[in-house]
Amino acid sequence: MSNYEFDMQSGISRTKKLIRDLARPVLIAVAGWTCSGKSFFSEKLAIEIGKEEAVSIIFLDNYFKDFDDICFPKNEKGNLLFDVPYAYLQEEFLNGVNLIMSGIDTRMPDYDIKTNKRISKAGKFIKAEPLIICEGLFTINMLSRTPHKVIKIFIDTDAALCFTRRINRDTNLYGVSNGMVEWTFRTKVLPYSKRFVEPQKCLADVIVKNDFERR
């Protein structure tokens, strides 16, 4: 195991050390494959560091484009591609992050995964706290476009485990058939995650090897 690969608790401890002497506010990016445990880790990290300082979490998935947006990315067969950077309203996401980092409270959009549509532009209130966690597939790459110092965390999870979790999530929460989940993962999630998500691992300050159970 390299100096930058940790289990969950050790990854949290390492992150706390990295941010200890940094000027506030501090921006933390948590990236990784779909169903890798990004949200789980981010919430655990927020609870842990929240014992000492206030923290807010911004979720990249709240900035998805509507599925019927003419600019929503598609493959050559016209199928929608959700696991690519262009599926997100990147500038809106980055503008929100920059506001928060400037000390200005903002609101995160509400997005309904079941309908793939935005419910409201003015959703959850996000306070400009000293510590800001941004969680999502591409947060490491996207936040590299900001002028802020970013602590970069990559959740490293085996693709087979991500697939199993994706089936459990999509069938139970969204009523998607096993066959559709498998087809989507094989034809879209897997190739585009290897192309766009996995390279962020090389940029990470902390790599968390996922051997923990999700809720």
Residue for token digits 């802020």? 148
The H or E element that residue 56 is part of is strand 55-59
Do residues 201 and 137 make contact, with C-beta atoms less than 8 angstroms apart?
no
What the chain holds in terms of domains, given with CATH numbers, is 5-209 (3.40.50.300)
Give me 52's structure tokens.
Answer: 């000492």
The per-residue pLDDT string of the chain (215 residues; one tens digit each, 9 = 90 and over) reads: 445 689 999 999 999 999 999 999 999 999 999 999 999 999 999 999 999 999 999 999 999 999 999 999 999 999 999 999 999 999 999 999 999 999 999 999 999 999 999 999 989 999 999 999 999 999 999 999 999 999 999 999 999 999 999 999 999 999 999 999 999 999 999 999 999 999 999 999 999 998 654 43
> Going by C-beta distance under 8 Å and a sequence separation of 6 or more, which residues neighbour residue 77?
none
Q: Which residues pair with 111 in a beta bridge?
A: 118
